Amino acid sequence: MKYNGSPDAPAADPAVDDAPTRERVATTILENGPSTAADLAVQLGLTPAAVRRHLDQLLADGVLEARDQRITGQRGRGRPAKVFVITDSGRDHFAHAYDELAAGALRYLAETGGDEAVMAFARHRLVDLEERYRPLLQTADPVQRPRVLAEALSKDGFAASVSTTPAGAQMCQHHCPVAHVAEEFPQMCEAETEMFARLLGTHVQRLATIAHGDGVCTTHLPHTPDTTSSPTAERLPS
């Protein structure tokens, strides 16, 4: 992604006010989800003023949008800080290699082999990924498996994170390299959800996907693996 500042923009320290740093700001938000200017300053080692300059440019470019921060628990005094999120057009700046070629190939597969053929392809493309992840999860403590899975996904570019909920864990993937294709072929998401269920040895429930217009792909992972029945993958109705 390359961002070029306006020639009319005020002069600033070239060490911090340049396109590569704006790219770092955008990438950090993509990987970590909605972020405040203060969060970004700490994570990137920049001054708040420098971060705000980059955010202003990214907002003007349509790469980011500002939203009100969601407050849980008791709210403090003053207005809540704004959080910045990647827009759909901002995601287009990141790599979605060969989207149209892949979509065209899948359309042909659907026409000649039906939806079952597309699903078979979606499952097949994850075989190597699953084989690499399985040893990592098998040697991990069951409680730590969601975190191990998220770390493995992040190394492969999915920018995944895990948070604990009363009912289990919730895994968020802030980037999906096949999101544009999955908009037309949800089998890509379904196959991935099935893989998570097999790797974790429990049912999982897909709550949201980037392909369906959500900000992140969110999956609910129960606390305790169900060893009494075969793992299943669930997703909410579209």
Q: How many residues does the chain have?
A: 238
**227 and 187 fall within a common domain:** yes
CATH number at residue 203: 3.30.1380
**108 and 84 fall within a common domain:** no
The answer to whether residue 5 is domain-embedded is no
Pick the closest to residue 171 from 218, 206, 233 (CA basis). 218
Quote the domain boundaries for residue 55: 19-92
Edge-first strand listing for the sheet containing 168-173: 160-165, 168-173, 217-222, 204-208, 233-235
The answer to whether residue 12 is domain-embedded is no
For 62, half-sphere exposure in the C-beta direction (CA atoms, 13 angstrom radius) is: 5
Using only C-alpha atoms, the chain has a radius of gyration, in whole angstroms, of 20
131-170 pLDDT, tens digit each: 999 999 999 998 899 999 999 999 888 989 999 888 889 9
Alpha helix ranges (H) inside 61-98:
88-92
Q: Of the candidates 31, 60, 92, which is a domain's last residue?
A: 92
170-210 pLDDT, tens digit each: 999 988 888 889 999 999 999 999 999 999 999 999 999 98
Cα 234 to the center of its chain, rounded Å: 19
Token pair of 13, please? 């320290």
**86 and 156 fall within a common domain:** no
The answer to whether residue 200 is domain-embedded is yes
The answer to whether residue 167 is domain-embedded is yes
Question: How many structural domains is the chain composed of?
Answer: 2
**143 and 171 fall within a common domain:** yes
* Distance of alpha carbon 202 from alpha carbon 81, whole angstroms: 38
**Average pLDDT in the chain:** 82
Please classify residue 183 by burial: count the beta carbons closer than 10 Å to its beta carbon, then call 0-12 exposed, 13-18 middle and 19+ buried. middle
13-53 pLDDT, tens digit each: 444 447 888 888 998 888 788 899 999 999 999 999 999 99
Give the phi and the psi of residue 38 in degrees, each rounded to 5: -65, -40
CATH number at residue 45: 1.10.10.10
* Distance of alpha carbon 26 from alpha carbon 213, whole angstroms: 19
* Distance of alpha carbon 29 from alpha carbon 39, whole angstroms: 10
How many angstroms separate the most distant Cα atoms in the chain?
66
- Mapped onto helix, strand or coil, the DSSP state of residue 233 is strand
